[in-house]
Structure 1
Amino acid sequence: MAYQGQNNFDHRQAQKLGVLVTNLGTPDAPETGALRRYLREFLSDPRVVEVPRLIWFFILHMVILVIRPPRSAHAYKSVWTDAGSPLMVHTEAQCAGIRERLQSQFGDDIEVRFAMRYGNPSIASQLQAMEEAGVRKLVVLPLYPQYSASTNASTFDAIAKDFMQRRWLPDLRFISHYPDYPPYINAMAKHIEAFRAEHGTADKLIFSYHGVPKKYLLNGDPYFCECHKTSRLLAERLGLGDDDWLTTFQSRFGREEWLKPYTDHTLMALPEQGVKSVQVFCPGFSSDCLETLEEIDVENRGYFEEAGGESFAYIPALNAEPDHLDALTQLIEENLQGWELPENDAVGLNERQQRASQKGADR
């Protein structure tokens, strides 16, 4: 096996701490071809779809990749901005905000980048860039607060797969989840409070999370429990009564049972129960994306209003709000504890090069 190396390695190269922030991913353009490439990569991941591979190969290639890309392209066009995909725009802004905060403390001794699990920029490309920048100690933060094998573990899979091909591995710390991290809970609460101070309250506040098949829970995935824990802590921080809020799950597809209650079914049923106004917030989405901007604020808004609901409000994701960036930065800093800053002064780097030369390592 030929391992990846750093062809331009120099013993005088400064060594750095590294932070890699990751998110799910987005197609390169709101077009059928780009959606087909993106969905092929996403839905081919056995962590995402736990179906026997041969059966799933035919379903994916003969049905889903024929029918779904045009529909998804139409949906993406409705949320696409001049700057690109909302998820890409927000993730890039989050990375920039985290970088600014960390560099104020660590200076040029820290390298902060972002990658997408599916699509671009890829995890492999960013790990290569970080190695070439001299990163020898690496913290990875997937922006999925609640752990699931289909998201957090899949991200680790991609890193491990890359490391299998890499000659020199950095020290690694992987932040697998943060569903009850107090600064994260507080950032969400302050965000919701600010929204309600401007727009008023509603009969119900709904916390909607991305769904997964129920069998994942039955097989031991903690996602369902962590979502409910986040909701409970957030409701407590907001001072809500038991009748003031609900936890629901969105974004299912296929015929099997997914985590319940379903967001769409809940919104269809609430008006008959006397609930005429709702506000929806998605604690599991660090950035606004297709699932929040189109699925919640358009599709599910329509379900609620068609059923007799009078007032629907989507509360945006935290995106690059300062409190959110402060919380993420604090989480990263806690995971950097114990790692000393590299000694990158010019004298020390030259001495290292001279010692290497004396031992026959010219570079």
Structure 2
Amino acid sequence: MMLRSRSNNAMNIAANQPKEGGANVHIKRTKKPTEEDTINEPKAKRAALSDLSNAISNVLIDSTKKILPFDKSVPVPTRRVSKRLSNVKEEIKKELEGEIAVEANGQPVENPCPSYNYDKEQATDLLSFSEFAFDIFCYFRSRESEFAVGNYLKRQPQLNHDARATLVDWMVEIQETFELNHETLYLGVKLVDIYCDKVKVVIEKDNLQLIACAAMLVASKFDERSPPLIDDFIYIAGQIFSREDMMQMEMELLDVVDFDLGAPLSYSYVRRYARVTKTDMATLTLSRYILETSLMFFDLNRMSESLLASAAFMLASSMKNSESVAEWSPVLHKYTGYTRKDVEPVMWMVNHMMHVSRQQKFRKNNTVYSKYSHEVFFEVALTPFLIDKFAPSAPIQVPCLEP
């Protein structure tokens, strides 16, 4: 704002002063300032900024000076990195990208598809991150063991499979209500499992919704451009807890998970598999439906995310084929790191899980089914399953997991 001159200010003050002897006082208006008055007005200055400019201009940079040598005696803080990262990355690199795919019994096995390189094809697409995509998924694979979830249901007497399934079904409703990214949902469920596995106290059943809301809030802050507010979660939970409770739980959850939110997600893997195989959107959506249904089944969420995504992708391709189990192409072998022998047993267990999810006792948790029955998702939930190789009452168990 331009400063006024002393003369103009005096005129304004005099004009605004009431005259003696009556209320009907005519206020004299000041004349419009002329160009001469404007020129004579003092200009605003930023002395500090001008002084700083002068100081910088007077500095002489001596390019002949050398940088002091690095003092190796001073410890440098480093991030916690997996001890197995380098070994696993090298192993996956041989398996997926190099001339050697795997080493079986000490003998090198050739790359199953050396002539195909999806990332090289996408080099001109800046949004595909083709230069870094391989390293990113190598890093994800190397960290899966760090986010493995133990069988915490044995240590939490008030929790069981049904309570967890109902909670996850409600978290899917939250994701739909706020129109959150699917990655937010998967990370939220993962944070709930990690928290329940690592926390030292007994979790009360009444606190499950509070834990789920805190997990979805943290996941939203991690993945969303515009995350929901704390008050939004309080409202959707029926105001069963206060704002202070929510903030306290958020801090406690972050402390328990050690502020590490970069968990590998099966959703990310299945999108990668669909891209490298150039699969149509309907098959990818069916894979997503299978994975989202698996979120409600505890044992499946304890296994490797990349292997679960591979099984879901194989099952979706087989359901689209409807006649036989889909082939596991050399491209899938190359980019998943799994052979058909690795994936097919898990696929049949996931297929059994889909049959179980439609049983009467699970019909109350039908949010995922209703969601993917919509035409927006190609009505993939109406796709027939493969014939179940297990008895209807058979438990859902993954052979590679410890009880």
Range into which the TM-score falls when normalised by the shorter chain: under 0.3
| Bigger fraction of residues in strand | 1
Which of the pair is proportionally richer in helix? 2
Q: Which of 1 and 2 has greater Rg?
A: 2
Higher relative contact order (CA 8 A, sep 6+): 1
**TM-score (norm: length of structure 2):** 0.22
